[in-house]
């Protein structure tokens, strides 16, 4: 039975028995970038003056869509399995086509909230399964702290049993 622990735009945390699933999708950012590039295209197209003899080709529209695809952030899914003591990161690379999956052993897991700038509202939740590797979930400070509490509570249940 799946239990939804947190559901926000672009972020969902589910618990299914001994498995915690964190899904972060940036679909709204992708759609927003397509709309912004489309607006720029339409402004450039309609501001085109025929007397200057500059024609904006329809290929510019295709270029705009391609730029939005390359600039959009790819979705990430992090699965924490309490029973098998493994963390799996499934992340699509840049253009949503290529994906990679990494597995980590969670012997000394550390969860921290880090902000690149002290006064920034954006931060990332860093899950460090070992000394070399880390998983970053970029979000706001408030949401990162919520996720940190959920993961710590999930892992605390394992230590009690």
Residue 92: exposure state from Cβ atoms within 10 A (0-12, 13-18, ≥19): middle
Question: Which pLDDT value is given to residue 127?
Answer: 76
Q: What is the pLDDT of residues 27-38, one digit of tens each?
A: 666 677 777 777
Do 96 and 36 share a structural domain? Answer: no
pLDDT mean across residues, the chain: 73
Q: Are residue 100 and residue 117 in the same domain, yes or no?
A: yes
Task: State the Cα–Cα distance between residues 148 and 127, nearest whole angstrom.
Answer: 9
Residue 155, C-beta contacts closer than 8 angstroms, at least 6 positions apart: 80, 82, 109
Q: Residue 53 is part of which domain span?
A: 30-71
| pLDDT bracket for residue 136 (50, 70, 90) | confident
Nearest-angstrom CA–CA distance, 65 and 106: 40
Co-location of 22 and 40 in the same domain = no
Q: Is the pTM of this model over 0.85?
A: no
Across the range 7-26, mean pLDDT stands at: 84
Do 44 and 67 reside in the same domain of the chain?
yes
Residue 108 neighbours by CB under 8 Å, 6+ apart: 129, 130
Domain's final residue, options 71, 99, 128: 71
Instruction: Please identify, among 39, 54, 71, the residue that sits at the C-terminal boundary of a domain.
Output: 71
Tens-digit pLDDT profile for residues 52-103: 555 556 777 677 667 666 655 567 888 888 888 888 888 766 555 566 778 8
82 in the same domain as 47? no
DSSP secondary-structure letter at 55? -
Residues 63 and 77 reside in one and the same domain: no
What sign for the dihedral angle of Cα 15, 77, 139, 158?
A: positive
Cα(75)–Cα(62) distance, rounded to whole angstroms? 23
How many residues belong to the chain? Answer: 161
- For the cut 70, the answer to whether the pLDDT of residue 160 exceeds it is no
């Amino acid at each position: 039975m799946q239990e939804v622990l947190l559901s926000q735009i672009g972020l969902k945390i589910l618990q299914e028995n001994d498995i915690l699933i964190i899904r972060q999708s940036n679909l709204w950012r992708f759609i927003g970038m397509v709309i912004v590039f489309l607006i720029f295209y339409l402004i450039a197209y309609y501001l085109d003056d025929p007397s200057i003899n500059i024609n904006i080709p329809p290929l510019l529209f295709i270029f705009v869509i391609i730029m939005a695809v390359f600039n959009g952030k790819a979705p990430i899914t992090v699965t924490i399995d309490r029973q098998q003591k493994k963390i799996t990161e499934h992340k699509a690379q840049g253009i949503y086509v290529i994906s990679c999956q990494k597995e980590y052993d969670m012997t000394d897991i550390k969860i921290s909230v880090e902000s690149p700038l002290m006064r920034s509202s954006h931060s990332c939740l860093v899950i460090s399964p070992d000394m070399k590797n880390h998983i970053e979930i970029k979000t706001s400070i408030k949401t990162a702290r919520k996720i940190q509490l959920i993961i710590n509570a999930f892992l605390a249940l394992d230590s009690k049993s």
